[in-house]
Amino acid sequence: MTKPTAIISGAGIGIGRATALAFARVGYRICVTDILETEGKQVAEEIKAGGGDAYFRKLDVTRSDQVDDVVGEIDKQYGGVDVVVANAGIAHKVPLAQMSDAKWDITVDIDLKGVFRMARAATPRMRERRKGAIVAVSSISGMSYGWAEHVHYSAAKAGVLGLVRGLAAELGGDGIRVNGVAPGFIRTAQSLSEEHSMGEARLVAQAPSIPLRRIGEPDEVADVILFLASDAARYVTGQTLLVDGGLTIKQG
């Protein structure tokens, strides 16, 4: 049986790292990609140390040439990508009065156009094979909540929802499914950042407002991504699933 291949962007830390480990555990060959070279290599080595199959490629998702080269390598060596997980993203705090075009553009370029570039590169071979799954990482800030001083992030993550729906409609006839996840409060380097997010104390303080009464962990998002990419979700496309412990359905 041919081993399936998954490419994961932003796989050096957080949700991306957890997703790489989750896919490796069920037998995928993992192309670990990240702009963070040290962290990405460590994830690939961790997978290999556990008996899995993984390798690292440094990847800046704002560079179409780099995305095309990394995906093209998979197409050539392994016959195509089976799963794309478009996870790479940034969330920098910028008050509206300080929001320059450049600060807006870099967030949209990574968080939204990065997803598009990954899908564009992988789908020609997926179409030839008439199979494939793409999972994009959005956020509750793009689906249900606004986030003050992060309007560029909220807009980009909302754009991911539309991109998921549009790609699903266009690619479904070729056997390709496209879905997304919208994480809530998850314990990642981003959410723990005092400069750009809540920091440890404020993050922990959110737990009582969540129906499950705790902050989520990266592997809990990774497991939903794995489900969406699997045959268990073979009749699911164009959907973005909230992974928020019930946060967005609570009243009062």
pLDDT in tens, 58-100: 999 999 999 999 999 999 999 999 999 999 998 899 999 999 9
Catalytic one among 55, 145, 153, 235?
Answer: 153
CB 54 within 8 A of CB 17: no
**Mean pLDDT of the region 155-160:** 96
Distance CA 248, CA 184 (A): 8
* Closest-CA residue to 240 (of 187, 185, 177): 177
Domain boundaries, the chain: 5-184+218-244
Alpha carbon of residue 26 to chain centroid:
18
Check if the beta carbon of residue 11 is closer than 8 Å to that of residue 222.
no
- Which one-letter DSSP state was computed for residue 3? P
Please, which pLDDT band fits residue 194 given cuts at 50, 70 and 90?
A: low
Please determine, for residue 200, whether its predicted confidence score (pLDDT) is greater than 80. Answer: no
Q: Average the pLDDT over 117-132 and give the result.
A: 98
> Tokens 């959005």 sit at which residue?
138
153 is catalytic: yes
Mean per-residue pLDDT over the chain, rounded: 93
Closest CA to 82 of 43, 47, 129: 129
* Predicted local confidence at residue 249, as pLDDT: 87
First to last CA, the chain: 52
Place of tokens 């009065």: 97
Q: Are 176 and 132 in contact (CB under 8 A)?
A: yes
pLDDT at 198: 65
CATH superfamily, with its number, for domain 5-184+218-244: NAD(P)-binding Rossmann-like Domain (3.40.50.720)
- Matching residue, tokens 């967030």: 107
Residue 119 has a pLDDT of 98
Give per-residue pLDDT as tens, 15-44.
999 999 999 999 999 999 999 999 999 999
Nearest to 168 by CA among 228, 87, 224: 228
Beta strands in the chain (DSSP E): 5-8, 29-34, 53-58, 83-86, 132-137, 176-183, 240-243
Query: Mean pLDDT over residues 218-234, rounded?
Result: 98
pLDDT at 245 over 90: yes
